[in-house]
Amino acid sequence: MPGRLWRVSLAADLRREPGIGDRSPRLFFALLPDVGAREALGMLAQDVARTSGGRAVRAENLHLTLAFLGSVPQARVATVAAIGASAASRAKPFLLTLDRVGLFRNAGIAWAAPQAGSPDLQQIFETLREALRTAGLPVERRALHPHVTLARRCTRGLPAATMAPIAWRADAMALIASETLPDGPRYRELAAWRFPEAADVSPR
């Protein structure tokens, strides 16, 4: 049974976005923090950026990537959305807890991540990757290293360390289009699907 669709704009609205037109959008699937977690992560991002000499990610852009596809032809956006709906229908709500910060030194990216692995998160990742591969869509081959990017262009070290836990109930996933602008990336949510048995809440 398809995942419950609760927000969608997809290709028709995407083509109306200024500057996008018929270009192939860069797409990714993601988990989005709830309001409380987003606020806490936004404050953490500011602190981490000051410590590392980096540029904090705007609070509205904070997310945990499940699968990054890169540029996808407009004609295949609906296929990608169908894969998202199917994967969401096989997932279930779970508590995602971020309790560790660190730095991808070569990339200059500071992050927050869970110390412990999550079977539920791993299942969503594997389901998406297999479906994308089967459909002949681009998919990264590397293993899942779940994290939320907090700051970019970091110039000073940031040793991995524990942090006060920030958690949210992951009960939906979203399909996001990304466009790189001079002041940083702009994200547009194309669709989102609730996981079965998730509590009925109003769209954000």
pLDDT for 64 beyond 60: yes
Tell me 6's DSSP state: E
Could you give the CA distance from residue 150 to residue 148 in angstroms, rounded to a whole number? 6
For residue 117, name the pLDDT band (cuts at 50, 70, 90): confident
If 0-12 CB within 10 Å is exposed, 13-18 middle and 19+ buried, where does residue 97 land? middle
| Averaged pLDDT for residues 108-114 | 95
Answer for the pair 175, 191: CB distance below 8 angstroms, yes or no: yes
Residue-wise pLDDT tens digits, 8-58: 555 444 444 444 444 667 899 999 999 999 999 999 999 999 999 999 999
**Domain segments of the chain: what residues?**
4-15+26-194
Look up the pTM and report it: 0.84
For residue 180, name the pLDDT band (cuts at 50, 70, 90): confident
What is the CATH architecture of 4-15+26-194?
A: Alpha-Beta Complex (3.90)
